[in-house]
Amino acid sequence: MADTSGGRARAVIENPMPVVDAGRFPAKRCVGDTVIVEADVFVDGHEALRCMLLHRRQGERGWNEVEMRALVNDRWRSEFTLPGPGVYEYTITAWLDPFSSWLRDLKRWTAPEDLSVSLATGAQLIAQAARRARGEDSRRLKAWSEALAADTDVAVRVDRASDAELNKLISLYADRRQGTTHEPLLGIVADPPLARFSAWYEMFPRAAHNPARVPGMSPPTHGTFRDCEARLPYVAEMGFDVLYFPPIHPIGETRRKGPNNATTSGPGDPGSPWAIGSSAGGHKAIHAELGTLEDFHRLVRSARALGIEVALDIAFQCSPDHPYVAEHPEWFRHRPDGSVQHAENPPKKYEDIYPFNFDTKDWRSLWDELRSIFDYWIEQEVRVFRVDNPHTKPFAMWQWIIGGIKRAHPDVIFLAEAFTRPKIMHRLAKLGFSQSYTYFTWRNNKAELTEYFTELSQSPGREYFRPNAWPNTPDILHEYLQQGGRPAFVTRLVLAATLAANYGIYGPAFELTEHTPREMGSEEYLDSEKYQIRQWDLNRADSLRHIITRVNRIRRDNPALHQDWRLAFYTTDNEQLLCYAKSTPDLSNVILVAVNLDPVHTQMGWVSLRLEELGVQPDMPFEVEDLLTGARYQWRGPHNYVELAPHRLPAHILRVCRATDADTPRPATN
């Protein structure tokens, strides 16, 4: 707390919210949000306090002030709205309010002589405020002071002292010289709404060529940005608003990987897009077979016209052929024999990739160059980035890079791909990453899902950690999907899309239920797109595209699913049934989800609801509409029956409707 009163400040300000690490990092919100600010504010003794919220966009000189209101137990609250993207700062200031203290005590006196003395004291306080005021305000306050000090009827003077206009005017000229202001200033990052609510679709652009021929009958053709542009309506119709590409840069030849991560490649093998760089260029170049920079510009603009943002993968690593390797050998770690150390994650080896040596003495030049990669693609109109393995790069570098970019381009969104220890993932989020991958892929049973998403939605980390849930990625094919068939894919889709406001799928592998691992016990795909060009028949009759479309439409149409915080889990009497709800603060939109976690067997049981959280009267029947099927069911009371057959549909996404006059509830079956 700042004390500029020479040690005479008496107000105490504690426990402000929102705050991250005592103000070291900003909390996160989105444009248009109302930021609710609270703090404990109190003083020794019995004097009244005034408390003010101060807020401004970072870099502005003046403050906007909003009066705070007392709640209970010395807790105070106010709020302000974030008008645009950027960084905002706020603080709280409090001071003793002698006029309010005096007015409170005045109303307690009953004897005329006591009232007369008190009125004289009040007249002095108003006169002091008049000296601080200017112009007409000063003259009006002086007149009020004289009226309270005049030898006139006491009751009339008491009534005038309570005049609302006097209270309003005197509050404008409070004496704050002995006030307390909280330090440090506290920050709020206002991101675009897409940072809070988004559906991501990942695809390899080199697999976008989809000719009308039988897959596998001829060698696949390398896709282009023009092919990706033709794929945009497919992605848009399914309801995705972010189209994410793995690296689009030239791919190295040296130690290029073959199919299924083979250490040698044959003629025509395209290699891994994450082995970035060749004689054709590095991180600021485009793989020639994808097209030109102008083709890329056209793709980005065509996507944006359909409401889709193109996201690029930023992977700070190089193939042995990257120009950086020859131009800046000091940026890489060398072995005793002089060779460059390739990437390793024992027992895995990535012979086609050189990691940067961030301990280099030339670290500043390295940081500058890596920052310039973001700057370059921002110039190409990219506003969303998925960052590969940020946890293996310096924290300080990310804070510097993201902070600088957000100051210049506050609408840019960063997704951290960091499947690592929780504290590291949280640190990256604090440093500025807008969204974060999660452990969702490995949370499959009822207890795991309940515990994990309760933590994400209710713990203090929610102030800065925005989860993005993915059922699959090019690197991760979980055992649940390998063994559970189509119902497992639908289950994981519904869970990801409703538990988290941000989610994504790796397609077309997901909608075509690709589930064969490279070998038993592996999470790697057989014939992974990371190492070869795949053909996909998007028109397959068994594609999940229609249910994905339905789920994404449900997400868009229901504001309850646009956020993470108002998530509540409910008890079921069957460990294979998971039930939870999301709602808007005013309960105008309430979504209740029931999921069968068993992809093989029909599961049934009773769910126990806390009806007040759903806006339902305990003694009234209510209707729920299954937004997946259109079916409607009459429920009554907190206990209701659910039965879900996974091979028909393993989940309900229920909208809680208004109460009806129906007397008999029907079980919800599917």
From the candidates 321, 417, 514, 529, which is the catalytic residue? 417
* Strand (E) or helix (H) holding 425: helix 422-431
Q: 630: left (phi > 0), else alpha (psi -120 to 50), else beta?
A: left
Strands 64-67 and 34-43: unpaired
**Spatial CA neighbour of 297 closest among 310, 282, 307:** 310
* Strand (E) or helix (H) holding 198: strand 198-202
Active site residue 388: yes
What is the amino acid identity at position 222?
H
Residue 348 has phi, psi (to 5 degrees) of -80, 145
Sorted by sequence, the CB contacts under 8 Å of residue 8 that are 6+ apart come out as: 178
Sorted by sequence, the CB contacts under 8 Å of residue 134 that are 6+ apart come out as: none
Please count the other Cβ atoms lying within 10 Å of the Cβ belonging to residue 151: 7
Residue 654 has phi, psi (to 5 degrees) of -105, 130
Q: Omega into 508 within 30° of 0, i.e. cis?
A: yes
Distance CA 477, CA 492 (A): 12
From the candidates 97, 191, 388, 463, which is the catalytic residue? 388
Radius of gyration of the chain (CA): 31
What is the amino acid identity at position 463?
E
Distance CA 548, CA 490 (A): 8
* CA atoms 81, 83, 84, 86: torsion sign: negative
Distance CA 212, CA 537 (A): 9
Distance CA 256, CA 524 (A): 18
CA distances from 197 to 419, 545, 562, 609 (A): 21, 20, 5, 26
Would you please indicate which residues are annotated as catalytic (active-site) residues? 388, 417
